[in-house]
Amino acid sequence: TEEILRNTEKLVFAGQLAVGIAHEIRNPLTTVKGMLQLLGKDNCLRHYNLIMSELERMNMIVGEFLILGKPQAVQFREERCFPILQEVLNLFEIQAALNFININCDVDADLPVRCDRNQIKQVFMNIVKNAIEALPHAGNIRILLEARGTFQLIRIADDGVGMNEQVLQRIGEPFHTTKPEGNGLGMMIVKKIIDAHHGRLEIASEPGRGTTVDIYLPASNP
Ligand code: ADP
Ligand code: MG
């Protein structure tokens, strides 16, 4: 119980902190980016690309935080998941190919769900990104869309490094990462979004065998 409490406190704290930091950082970040764009055009600046890409990284992190703190911007509409998923897969196509990752999709049913398209995209992006990062050399990502009772199931499975019990237990805890370049925010965001959609997240994993992430979203017309 103590640990649960500690985690909850951490989450609430992280959430408040995140929104504060995000707002404070975004404005100066935008200014600096704009100035750099001008400088870069005149070739005045060495290391322009590195600075820009680092800024973009910060921008992405701040953007993720802002999504957490902005429920009013959410727009729920009837959408099918597969087209959203396809957009995400297109984004990762090159990265997957470079890592010899084969992505295979099996669409059995793609029921309309009431969802915020951007948030669901964010969910798929984080999970597919984790799957790719779990396959540093080569491997497979298998995606399955199926109707399960009154729910639409979206399963994203990889045969990558997997997780041990401790990592699996702590998944979704803010800033919990096993990656040198990770930020440990992806799965926290995924959980928050799925909760807001009255969905369910189930993760099964085995070290050395791989990970299966199941997302259940309530279907509009089951
Ligand atoms: P990050 O990817 O920045 O580390 P996440 O919240 O996305 O943060 O994931 C937290 C941790 O959960 C990861 O560092 C990793 O240890 C583990 N994890 C998540 N997805 C997978 C996966 N598909 N395979 C193996 N480990 C995973
Ligand atoms: Mg991640």
Distance (Å) from CA 127 to ligand 2 centroid: 7
- Residue 119 alpha carbon to ligand 2 centre in Å: 15
Ligand 1 in reach of 170 Cβ (< 6 A): no
- Tell me, using a 6 A CB cutoff, whether residue 179 lines ligand 1: yes
End-to-end CA distance of the chain: 37
Ligand 1 pocket, 160 CB below 6 A?
Answer: yes
47 C-alpha to ligand 1 centroid (Å): 31
Q: pLDDT tens-digit profile of 183-200? A: 888 898 899 889 999 999
Instruction: Report pTM.
Output: 0.76
Choose between 46 and 107: higher pLDDT.
107
C-alpha 50 – ligand 2 centre gap (Å): 22
E-state strands within the chain: 76-79, 101-107, 113-116, 139-148, 151-158, 200-206, 210-218
Is residue 208 within 8 A of residue 164, CB to CB? The reply is no
Q: Is the ipTM of this complex over 0.95?
A: yes
**Range with lowest mean pLDDT among 53-67, 113-127, 190-204:** 53-67
Q: Which of 137, 115, 104, 131 shows the shortest CA–CA distance to 194? A: 115
Rg over CA atoms, the chain: 19
Ligand nearest to the CA of 158: 1
Question: pLDDT tens digits for 80-104?
Answer: 999 999 999 998 998 999 999 999 9
Mutate to test the pocket of ligand 1, among 125, 187, 188, 202 (most ligand atoms within 8 A of CB): 187
Is residue 74 within 6 Å of ligand 1 at its C-beta? no
- Give me ligand 1 centre to Cα 141, in Å: 15
Check if the beta carbon of residue 215 is closer than 8 Å to that of residue 194.
Answer: yes
Q: Which residues contact 196 (CB under 8 A, 6 or more apart)?
A: 71, 74, 116, 119
What ligand has the least distance to the C-alpha of 191? 1
